[in-house]
Structure 1
Amino acid sequence: MRLFPWLDRFPVGLFAIPVGLLALAGAWRRAQGFGWAMALPVASSLAWSAVALLTVFLLLYAAKCLRHRRTFAADFSHPLISSLMALIPLSLLLCTVYFGEAGHPGWLLFLLVALTLQGVVAIRIVATLTATSLPVAAVTPALYVPPVGGGLVGGMALSTLGYPGWAALLFGMGLVSWALLEVRILNRLFDGSMPEGLRPTIGLELAPASVATLAAGAIWPLLPGDILIVGLGISAGPIVAVMARYKWWGRVPFAIGFWSFSFPLAALAGAVIEVVRRGGWPPFVGGAALGLASAAIAFLGLKTMMLIGRNPLIPAPPPA
């Protein structure tokens, strides 16, 4: 009997969990500016919990790639699953943002590996979008993750390590990718014909604007608060678009895909905290944003534990 009979079905979407936890850890660390004694301990607990999960997931996914190469190749050729593969290097980029040290050669090498992996997946998705007829069912917000997430979070990581010029370049590439994808994906969301199994990925629609606002604040520390407020205003559009379709996605049974909400909500909370610091907003606004993001991610964690209690986390094999 094989030790892990479910290994070939290990879903890459699980990496959304450490991604969301690392983003929330960054938001809590920013809240130190409010003078909260609990901010740094909470941030550290979240970050190290994310690293522990990420390590386990990486080991399992590496084993899947080695033992089930055909499954991995099929996943890499699938437009949706290959988009979600970018969550792996995205989690490594967020590790760099949280733990990285400027001028440290080890962190630079770590970042270059993460950016290379992100680039491979992004090129694959761009080639699919431009050179072939992408199936309508594959047009989901998951397409943002490789080019947009890689550009914006990669820019933050480069800024953390002390490379502001390269960070600005990558940030610009992320913005262009967002602009090219936005109209097509929004049309798909309002069309309403997305299969139920893919609807939880709608949370990623919130990500580009919130992450871009947070990334701009990180790359340019002297950027006026008013500019970040404009970013928050832009972020409000996708929030309205997603919440307007609540009945469309809210009745779908809980699945790991709903962790797609964690990263953008945590990034939005971090951006609001930066606006509080630079734009003169009262601190309770930042505290409220952080509280809402933390509550939402805690809810996702609770629902995940309940899901594990009722059913296996790894999907069952298709019937023979």
Structure 2
Amino acid sequence: MPRPFTRLPEPWAFVRHFTPNWFAMTMGTGVLALVLAHLPWTLPGQMALAEALWLFGVVLFTLFSLLFLARVLLHRDTVWPMLLHPVQSMFLGAIPMGLAMLIGGLVQFGPARWGEGVYQLAHLLWWLDAALALASALLVPYLMFTRQSHALEKMTAVWLLPIVAPEVAAGAAGGLAPYLDPAAARLMLAVGFVLWGMSLTLAFSLITLVLLRLALHKLPDTDFAATSWLPLGPLATGCLGLLTMGRDAPAAFAGTPLAGAAEVASGLGLVGGLALWGAGLWWLVTAIFFTRHYIRDNMPFNLGWWGFTFPLGVFTLATFELGRLTELRFFALVGLVLAVQLAAVWLLVLQRTLRGVWHGELFEAPCLKGPNSPAHGVFAAD
């Protein structure tokens, strides 16, 4: 067996070159755990496997948080180049989105193992997640508008990452609200609807630009193959958030001046969820066509491949939720097919990631690549 870390660009590169891209791995792993837990049919060992994946995601998130914090504290000269990089900075949104998946798993698996006290922990973590999501949705676009260098022909759907984070937090609120006292649930859902509206409206604007860019400049380079799946993310999370928050609203707002609006929100959530699911289905099929095109071009592996997992996973969760709310078997069958596809993609990407970790080739931050880095005035886009 070859020696590990033979392709590290420098000693301790896994700290100095650690990038927020790695948190996309926690997003993909966390959403797979939730998909397995929400399968419409119970299989032997299903919940044990789902919980093991969630715990694996917790370990990864903890490790990545420590490495990222170490880079910020020990290599402060690398922080500004990362923030100015037109691609790396976008992945800051992956941090709260990864945390949201772990909060969902805590609600799903925690009570059976540690008791109902985990709901309060999940509640506190949700407010942290909402703050991080809001920060990414405000900070990164501000840097885009004032300091970074962008062009329409270089644009990819990676622009969606920082602004979709509030929408993912809103979906997590829908999953947690039924387990909190009514006052806490009302406040969380109110904030969740605000985050949902903030995120989805901006996401639709960016998806419009992505379609324009594709029509004018065709598909991005193979290095950005996974970004073709990213527009599915806000459509799927928008659908899931609308379904879960609409489902929870009547009980949370009962006896308040918003009780009538909450009843309406329940019906509108289902209708709006179906509409967003339809939009997501179009993008799912389109992304599959794009991926077939990229496979013929021998797309190289990079951490961006984790972008194949999260949008597909959230769309699968939304499909299962529609199946439960509509009682239509069609959604259960479609969700099962998507779940199998998600598991296959996750295994493939994990295997390629572990190989890259062993060789050390994944620990090279694009924003620190010598004279072509933002620190030297040129904005790399790889």
Matches within 5 A, 1:117-196: 117-130=132-145, 134-136=149-151, 139-148=155-164, 150-159=165-174, 160-161=176-177, 162=185, 163-190=188-215, 191-192=217-218, 194-196=220-222
Are the structure 2 counterparts of residues 284 and 244 from structure 1 closer, same or farther at C-alpha, using a change threshold of 3 Å?
closer
Give the conservation status (yes or no) of the 8 Å contact 2:242–2:272. no
Q: CA deviation at 1:165?
A: 2.1
Candidates 250, 262, 281, aligned match of 2:309? 262
Q: CA deviation at 1:247?
A: 5.4
Q: CA deviation at 1:47?
A: 0.7
Give 3-state SS (helix, strand or coil) of 1:10's partner.
Answer: coil
Query: Structure 1 residue 291 and structure 2 residue 340: aligned?
Result: yes
Distance 2:271 2:131 in 1: 34
Distance 2:337 2:52 in 1: 20
Q: CA deviation at 1:279?
A: 2.3
Give 3-state SS (helix, strand or coil) of 1:312's partner.
Answer: coil
Give the conservation status (yes or no) of the 8 Å contact 1:82–1:121. no
Are the structure 2 counterparts of residues 193 and 179 from structure 1 closer, same or farther at C-alpha, using a change threshold of 3 Å?
closer
Matches within 5 A, 1:273-312: 273-282=320-329, 283-308=332-357, 312=361
Instruction: Give the counterpart letter for 1:281 in structure 2.
Output: L
Are the structure 2 counterparts of residues 171 and 103 from structure 1 closer, same or farther at C-alpha, using a change threshold of 3 Å?
farther
Instruction: Give the counterpart letter for 2:288 in structure 1.
Output: M
Q: CA deviation at 1:272?
A: 1.5
Give 3-state SS (helix, strand or coil) of 1:107's partner.
Answer: helix
Give 3-state SS (helix, strand or coil) of 1:97's partner.
Answer: helix
Q: Give aligned-pair identity as a percent.
A: 21
Structure 1: segments with no counterpart, 5+ residues? none
Task: Tell me the TM-score normalised to structure 2 length.
Answer: 0.74
Task: Tell me the TM-score normalised to structure 1 length.
Answer: 0.87
Give the conservation status (yes or no) of the 8 Å contact 1:155–1:167. yes
Candidates 240, 255, 258, aligned match of 2:285? 240
Are the structure 2 counterparts of residues 38 and 232 from structure 1 closer, same or farther at C-alpha, using a change threshold of 3 Å?
farther
Q: CA deviation at 1:252?
A: 1.5
Task: Give the number of the structure whose alpha-carbon radius of gyration is greater.
Answer: 2
Give 3-state SS (helix, strand or coil) of 2:133's partner.
Answer: helix
Instruction: Give the counterpart letter for 2:34 in structure 1.
Output: G
Q: CA deviation at 1:270?
A: 0.9
Instruction: Give the counterpart letter for 1:249 in structure 2.
Output: Y
Give 3-state SS (helix, strand or coil) of 1:41's partner.
Answer: helix
Distance 2:224 2:16 in 1: 20
Are the structure 2 counterparts of residues 220 and 82 from structure 1 closer, same or farther at C-alpha, using a change threshold of 3 Å?
same
